[in-house]
Every structure is written in structure tokens, then in C-alpha cells.
Structure 1
Amino acid sequence: MTYNVLFLDIDGTILKPDHTYTDSTKDAILQAKNQGIEVFICTGRPLHEVETLAEELNVESLIGYNGAYAIYQNEAIIDEPIGQNLVHQFIKIANENNHEIVMYTSEKNYFTSLDSTAVQQFNKVFQLTKNDVYSSDVADQIIGATVIDVDTEEAALYELEPNLRLSVVNIEGTPQSYDIIRKNVNKGEAVKTILKRLNIPKDQAIAFGDGMNDKEMLQEVGESFAMENAHPDLFAYAKHTTTSVDDSGIYNGLKKLGLVR
């Protein structure tokens, strides 16, 4: 089988809990690229926070904000803001219920507060540095959002319309947090758009993930891998299970397909 594109989640897939990656992960990406496979980092993170990692791995194509923004060959090919009306409602819910929320633009991370212990813990785990306090003048620029340190019942308050769902953040060490996902704007929809643009059939695409924000992506490729450390509910959406992020999961998955040695 010929494969032409590889989509890789970051946290829990490329990066271990200590924010490092195995030598085998970098080697696997290099071997894939040397075979002409286009590699995309595909993350819930804001892209302005993954530039260093992308450079280290020599990856130039990026999908961020859970599919709301994507870059291919230095061109933004997906740009889907949430919309001011929903952003204002999210902030209102957070304020009324003493929740913390972070909202991402293409340049910064905007928090309801930078002082809370939960926010500081969240920022430490995700190594977010371009942070500021939210103000309404950036509402039209928001392309992603995460509610921080809320229980499941209260998180559901943000599902304001049928197009929205909450995806639990599957990263050890974070307070219980949820990405707000749009059902028509997610990693899977971004993958579909990119495959169409690059004229690559679904069966020539590969993806690896560990969180529930990866489920749509895993369904839009021919060869999908859930990491051994994945959220338990994710395995139902993956064709294969590979070893954990600590145990060369990407390398071992690509080896299963005969793409690395």
C-alpha cells in the first residue's frame, strides 16, 4: 500500500507527560518524510505554541485549535473563528459559575484569569507562554476554547447548540478540563479538507491520537492508531492500537505498516 500523508496529535501521542519525545518518534517522522509522506501535526493546541516542536521535528504542515486553523506550505488553508455570539455566551457562563476558560487566537491565549491555581497548572502542563487576560475586543478572533477545572455536569453548560460537544482533555496532570469542539469544525473535518486539497484518497492517509478530540480524525483516514495510553473511549474509533507514547507508539505503528525500520 502507498501512503502519502500522516497526521499526528501532540500531547500523549508525540509528547510524553514530561514534554519530551522519544528518539524513535523523531526517527519515525524523518523516515516517513524521506519516503515522500507529508506529515501534519494535528493538535488542539494553538499553533503559536508549537512552533519550536515543529521545527525540531522538521514538520511544516500544521493543524491547530482542534481543526479550526491549518497551515500547508506556509499558507493558511483553514481559518474558522468560533463567532462573537458564542464567545460572549461562553464567557458569561464561565463568569456566572466561577469557571476558568482559555480562548485562543492565532497569536495569543486569553484567559478569564491568570491567577488561579488551576490555570497555572494547566499552563505548566501545556507550556503555554503567550498568555493574556481576555477582553471582548478579541471576541471575533477566537478560534478555539477550553474550559478548565470543571466537572462533567457543569461542562455540559457550554453545549449551547447541537453543533457543540465537549471533549475531555486526556493529559495527566491537568485539572479536569474540556475542549469545546464544533461538530463541523474539528480535526476530522480539517483532515477531509486537506485530503481533498492534496487529492489524496482516504486509504492513503494515516493518523495517530490519544484523546477524544482525535476521534473524528481517526475516522477520516485509512489507517488509524490509538495510543495505548489513549482515553478508553477512543479505541472504538481506531483501526489499530499501538504502544504508549512512552514506548515508541508512533514508531511501532508505522513499523506495523512497513514504513519504518
Structure 2
Amino acid sequence: MIKAVFFDIDGTLVSFKTHVVPQSTIHALDLLRKRGIKVFIATGRHLSSINNLGNLEFDGYVTLNGGYVLAGKNDVVYKHSIPDKDIESLVHYQEKEGSFPCAFVMENEIFMNYTDKAVKDVFRLLNFPSPPIRPVADVYGNTVYQLIAFFTAEQEKRIMSILSHCESTRWNPLFTDIVPVGSNKGIGIDKMLEHFRINLDECMAFGDGGNDIAMLKHAGMGVAMGNAAEDVMKSADYVTTSVDDNGIYNALKHFNII
């Protein structure tokens, strides 16, 4: 019996085409809550950057790809930060070897060193609020939970070699989310389920991107959206229709959960 459902945001709850949650999904979430099933967010976004869900309510938030987990919006259940040594290595690389746009995601704020066309294109696609611009060295003395790094897959091997305690969770060719080793949405789900005393086989997860693969493989039932990449679909137990074709509603009906 499903007692909890986790949802990625971009490309899963929210359409890339319309930047809103489809009405069929809003209806499905309402039916879940009426049945006493808890609904959670599982996203790469910071809580302050979740600006596209309207007035929808959730029981908790797995944010920063599992690195920062909250029951409700205020009760921190779990947090896992990037080691200071890796941040120091990144700042040195930026200053000495080559600069690239990078957002530093902290507990209560986000800032970037600079933006370019790729950054603007991605933020426009995601309807993502643009962080303030500050010198990269301003990160010193702060705890960082995630990096949003704008470099290509070809550059990734070199840059990630200096971040020895981190891993890349790329879901877009223009950028990657960099998280501490051991952070992923699957881990975040575990922390949330432990808090609410729900078993893993009693949860379902929906996703569409590369950073959803760990979650889809780990959840009791992993559902990939029809607009997901092929490797994401292969990691899921079931593939539904796209976000723009009532994918969440159709899957929940298919499994008789609503």
C-alpha cells in the first residue's frame, strides 16, 4: 500500500513548455491528500528557488538532490554539505586555471560568480530566479550544500577531479548539479521516510532527469515521465505519459492509487 509519493519538479510536476503544473496533476495531488497519502517534493532546487508550484501544499521537501531535507518547510530533518577543502579547490581553480559560471548554494542564500548566455538560457527554461552576482571568494566561511556548475560534459572530468569528495548529477548538457558524495534523492527519501515512519516499499517516486535515477531505482515504485531521457526510463519500474499529457494522473490511476 502506497503511503507516500515523491515528485521531482522541473519536467515532472511542472511543464517545460508552460512553466506551470497541469490541472490533471493538481487534481491528482488533491486526491492523494484526501486518501491520506503524504506528498513530498524531491528536487535539485533550494527551497527558496521553488517558485513554480503556486499554492500547492506538500508534507515535506527533499531539496538540493537529497542534501537538505525538511519536514514541512521549517523542520530540518537532514543536511549534508560539501567539504570546505573541495570549495577551496574550486575557488583556486576558478582564480588560477579557468573560470566558469557557478552558483554556490548555501543554507539560506545562493549567489553566482557571473552569468553568460548558457546561464540565462537555462534559467529561462526553468523559470529559475537569478541569484545575485558576487566574487567567488565570498564563499569562504560559508557552508555549501550544492554547486550549480555551468561546464560541458567534456570539461567535467578535469573539473570534477579537483572535487574529490563530490559527484556530478548532470541532467542538462549545459550544466550539472554538484553534490557531496553520498547525497542523492534516494538518500533524501530515506531520511524523510524515517522521519515519518514509512517503509521504503510504501513509497512511489516520479522523475524525468538524470538526477532522478537514484531515486527511481531506490523507491518502492519508480515512475519515469514520458518526456524523460532513455536512461531515466530504463531506471524506472514504469514509464507514464509526459508531463504535458497527464503523466502523473495517468500513472496514479494505472496503479489504482487514486
TM-score (norm 2): 0.89
C-alpha deviation, 1:163, in angstroms: 5.0
Cα distance between partner residues in 2 of 1:235 and 1:162: 29
1:226 to 207, 224, 227: 224
Per the alignment, in what secondary structure is the counterpart of residue 85 of structure 1?
Answer: helix
Q: Does residue 141 in structure 1 map to residue 143 in structure 2?
A: yes
1:6 equivalent in structure 2: 5
Cα distance between partner residues in 1 of 2:88 and 2:229: 31
Letter in 1 for 2:200: K
Conserved in 1, the CA contact under 8 Å of 2:80 and 2:180? no
Aligned pair count? 252
Letter in 2 for 1:127: N
Change in 2 beyond 3 A, CA 1:225/1:162: farther
RMSD: 2.0
Per the alignment, in what secondary structure is the counterpart of residue 55 of structure 2?
Answer: helix
Q: Does residue 109 in structure 1 map to residue 110 in structure 2?
A: yes
Q: Does residue 33 in structure 1 map to residue 65 in structure 2?
A: no
2:42 equivalent in structure 1: 42
Change in 2 beyond 3 A, CA 1:93/1:253: farther
Conserved in 1, the CA contact under 8 Å of 2:105 and 2:111? yes
Percent identity over the alignment is 27
Q: Deviations over 1:122-152 (max 9, x none)?
A: 322233336122443444321111211x221
Conserved in 2, the CA contact under 8 Å of 1:202 and 1:222? yes
1:62 equivalent in structure 2: 61
For residues 1-261 of structure 1, what are the structure 2 equivalents within 5 Å? 2-18=1-17, 19-50=19-50, 52-54=51-53, 56-73=55-72, 74-95=74-95, 96-114=97-115, 116-129=116-129, 131-134=131-134, 135-139=136-140, 140-148=142-150, 150-160=151-161, 163-170=165-172, 176-260=174-258
Change in 2 beyond 3 A, CA 1:127/1:87: farther
Conserved in 2, the CA contact under 8 Å of 1:49 and 1:128? yes
- Pick which of 84-93 and 6-15 moved more: 84-93
Per the alignment, in what secondary structure is the counterpart of residue 62 of structure 1?
Answer: strand
Cα distance between partner residues in 1 of 2:227 and 2:125: 17
Conserved in 1, the CA contact under 8 Å of 2:225 and 2:243? yes
Q: Deviations over 1:177-206 (max 9, x none)?
A: 111133411111111122222221111100
Cα distance between partner residues in 1 of 2:178 and 2:222: 23
Per the alignment, in what secondary structure is the counterpart of residue 205 of structure 2?
Answer: strand
Change in 2 beyond 3 A, CA 1:54/1:16: closer
Cα distance between partner residues in 2 of 1:102 and 1:167: 15
Conserved in 2, the CA contact under 8 Å of 1:7 and 1:206? yes
Conserved in 1, the CA contact under 8 Å of 2:82 and 2:166? no
Letter in 2 for 1:176: L
Unaligned runs of 5+ in 1: none
Task: Return structure 1 stretches of 4+ with deviation > 6 angstroms.
Answer: none
